[in-house]
Amino acid sequence: MTRLIFAKILAACLFLACLVGGGLEMRGLRTYKESLVKGPGVTGTGRLSDYLPALKGSWGDTNLYFLDSGKPGGTALILGGTHPNEPSSIVAAFVLVEQALPEAGKLIVIPHYNRSGSTATQPMGAYPQFISIKTGWGEQKFRMGDRLANPLDQWPDPEVYVHYPSRQMLSNVDMRNVNRTWPGRADGALAERIGAAAMELIRREKVDFVVDTHGAELLYPVTNCIVAPDQGASIAQLAALDLTATEFEVHVEPSPAKFRGVSHREIADHSEAVPFLLESPDPFLDQPTGPKTEALELDGKDEFLLAAARRGLLFTDYDEKGKSMEERAGRHISVSRQLAAQWSLFNPERIVAFSCPGYAEFVANGLGPYFRDPAAAPEGSVVLE
């Protein structure tokens, strides 16, 4: 056998191994379903396609959870998983559905706003496929997805993405970024249809304010903050002041008027609702980190980032304790609670109030106690996400 033939056989074997082995692993992520137990606050469920039938049967369709207090008031929409590679937002949304108790008005929670994106990891990102949180009954396992919609569901990308309706040009891959496709297009690409469906939900359910939860790099100036348009600036400022005085530092960033397609800009410009985008610092997302592991996502400890912090390169505090999932998911819930409180002060006729464990409880007890055991849950209360 010549060396060339041997090399070709070797290459073919490696190719087949990658195709089958890698393909099976990817299929495992695509088909994995997370278990979510509807908590006592949940009064109804729905699908995003209820607001845009064109989404039905697609990977853009996703579950909605209604937590209605039965008392008059306003409505808040909380989005988790806009960017599935920022999983603290998904973890927080799960805890809200399992633990939150509405006290006035109504909450609508979407744990996987970008369900398609949660079914694939990012090429060159070297992400773990799953993260698991230890609980008293076993492990609560989550998919670790990509920032963008899965190319299996929306492809090819254009050479340049022209945002609807502003016609602003954005990076071509951002056409699969559901936080660049607001306010959406009912007959557009999948990510645009998701935006259009969510806008219809906001209008039909008379949503008063929207909280879009995210993770952000520590090297990114817009981290540790609430991004708000002018309409929500006072509410965000008061919430930030209160939280900074009592629990953790958070500040407010204004929503840039020229940056199109993002929730904090387009929801404000195309509906009556007031949007807030929350960024909690997630070390996993930064470029200068060590290996991209599940542990890094969960505990947020990284020596490279620590070195960067010592050189003053980060835009938030960072030390040996890292930035744990408990802190990050807890921030989302505590900030959302505080935004609801401030909203209610400004809008007494549209009060939204709910109780739910947040930052202080997660940091003290870990996240485990706040996930319900699907095996012990009442019949009909387990939903596969």
Partner 1 sequence: MFTHVAILLAAMAAAFALAKLAKLSTELSILAMALVGALAAGQGIPLRHLAEGSVAYLDICLIFVTATLFMNVVKEAGGIDYLVRKVFIRFHKRRAVLLVILMLLMLIPGALTGAGSVSVLVVGGTVALVLRGLGLKDEHVAAMVFLLAGLSAVAPPVNIWAMITTAGTAIPYVGFELPLGIPVLALGLFVTFYYGMRGEARDLGSVLATMPEPPAGMRAWRVGAPFLLLAAFIAVPRIWPFALPTLGLPIGFAASGFLAWALSPRKIDILRLSRETMDQLLPLLGTCIIVGILLQVMTLNGVRGLLSLSIISLPTVAIFLLLPVAMPLSEGILTFGGAAVFGIPLIWTLNSIGLNPVPALSGLSLLWMLGDALPPTALIGRLTVQSTGYAGRYWSFVKSCWLPWLVITLTGTLMVVFSKQLGALVL
Residues at the contact surface with partner 1, assessed by CB under 8 A: 14, 17-19, 21-23, 25-26, 121, 123-126, 129, 156-160, 162, 164, 167-175, 177, 185, 188-189, 217, 219-222, 256, 258-260, 286-292, 302-304, 307-308, 311, 313, 315
Pairing label, strands 138-143, 130-135:
antiparallel
For partner 1, which is the closer residue by CB, 200 or 279? 279
CB of 178 to partner 1, least distance (A): 14
Q: Give per-residue burial for 352-361: e unless 16+ CB within 10 Å, then b.
A: bbbebbbbeb
Cβ neighbours of residue 344 under 8 Å, at least 6 residues apart?
73, 74, 104, 350, 351, 352, 353
Q: List, in sequence order, every residue forming a beta bridge with 77; answer none if it has no partner.
A: 108, 210
Contact 40/378 with Cβ under 8 angstroms? no
CB atoms within 10 A of CB 130: 18
CA dihedral 24, 27, 28, 34 (to 10 degrees): 180
Q: Which two tokens mark 281? A: 């610092």
Q: Tell me the C-alpha distance between 38 and 274, whole Å.
A: 27
Q: Tell me the C-alpha distance between 218 and 317, whole Å.
A: 9
Helix/strand/coil for 66:
strand
Contact 114/83 with Cβ under 8 angstroms? yes
CB of 121 to partner 1, least distance (A): 7
For partner 1, which is the closer residue by CB, 34 or 146? 146
CB of 271 to partner 1, least distance (A): 20
CB of 126 to partner 1, least distance (A): 4
For partner 1, which is the closer residue by CB, 66 or 259? 259
Pairing label, strands 274-281, 161-162:
unpaired
CB of 92 to partner 1, least distance (A): 21
CB of 193 to partner 1, least distance (A): 12
